[in-house]
Amino acid sequence: MTAQLADMASRQSSGEKEFPMTNKDFKRIVSLASKYTGIVLGEHKRDMVYGRIARLVRKNRMQKFADYLDYLEANPDRELSEFINAITTNLTSFFRENHHFDVLEKQVFPELKRKNSDSKRLRIWSAGCSTGPEPYSIGITLKRSVFPSDWDVKLLATDLDSNVLAKAASGVYPSSEVDGLEDHLVKSYFSKNASGKEVKVKDSVRNLIYFKRLNLLEPWPMSGPFDIIFCRNVVIYFDKPTQKKLFDNYANMLAPGGYLFIGHSENLHGISDRFQNLGNTVYRKIS
């Protein structure tokens, strides 16, 4: 064991942190996270921040958080993407908040089949798609709803984190991630590898989805309009002024009467008056 590893092991066994992170370091990280991602990190996130940024300090063979932060600010072209990927949180699962997919299948898709019968066009956006279960769940619901083959149906999935986007685009997951799904869904829309330890989303669903990296705080290159936008458990990391701006932008991007789905811990009260609350964190654009 090298002297450095021995010293690290000694500090960890005594409960001492591997690298020092001062209050000044934490405030710098909070400021950088807000500047580049819009995420607001409270004091209760200190341990999470330590764990994630310590990996980058270690990876760059540095001794202190301050050294890493100096390096990051001096070399944003080299290191900023790594910092953003470390800070952003990615927690998702297939058919999470399942009531949303029931609303899609039983209410929204039948309505849009009638409403868009002339244009035969459907556009959906999963904003903050993480590793992909959300857009794939939307795609599976689309396939189950059997839109006619002559319709132009596209599903955009975006995220800030380039690493999770690469995983999402691959469509490959541990088999354990589909254990809770009904057998007929797994058989119809996933294929298992030879070992049975992994599943892959079938091309019939994957081909519906376009994965793109997007920072929600930067200009959006899409022209829209979208019929449906999913933005679930994303804005909880933003302050209220940023939330107001985002939901105003979502309203601008939605077609008249378009649908917005947000997370179970989120609401638009005091944030936007451009949506009608339909219940269960489903909203319809009214202006």
CB 262 within 8 A of CB 268: yes
Q: What are the backbone angles phi and psi of residue 105, rounded to the nearest 5°? A: -70, -40
* Helical segments of 88-227, H only: 99-103, 109-115, 133-145, 162-170, 183-189, 203-206
284 is catalytic: no
* Angle at alpha carbon of residue 142, lines to 214 and 159, rounded to 5°: 10
Token pair belonging to 230 = 């999913």
Which DSSP symbol is given to 27? H
Cα 77 to Cα 189: distance, rounded to the nearest angstrom: 39
Does the annotation count 273 as an active-site position? no
Q: How far is CA 58 from the centre of its chain?
A: 26
User: How many other CB atoms are there within 10 angstroms of residue 123's CB atom?
Assistant: 22
d(CA 224, CA 282): 20
* Alpha carbon distance, N-terminus to C-terminus of the chain: 65
Q: Which of 46, 52, 96, 144 is catalytic?
A: 52
In the set 25, 159, 161, 227, the catalytic residue is: 159
CA distance 13 to 182: 45
DSSP 8-state class, residue 18: S
Catalytic residue list: 52, 159
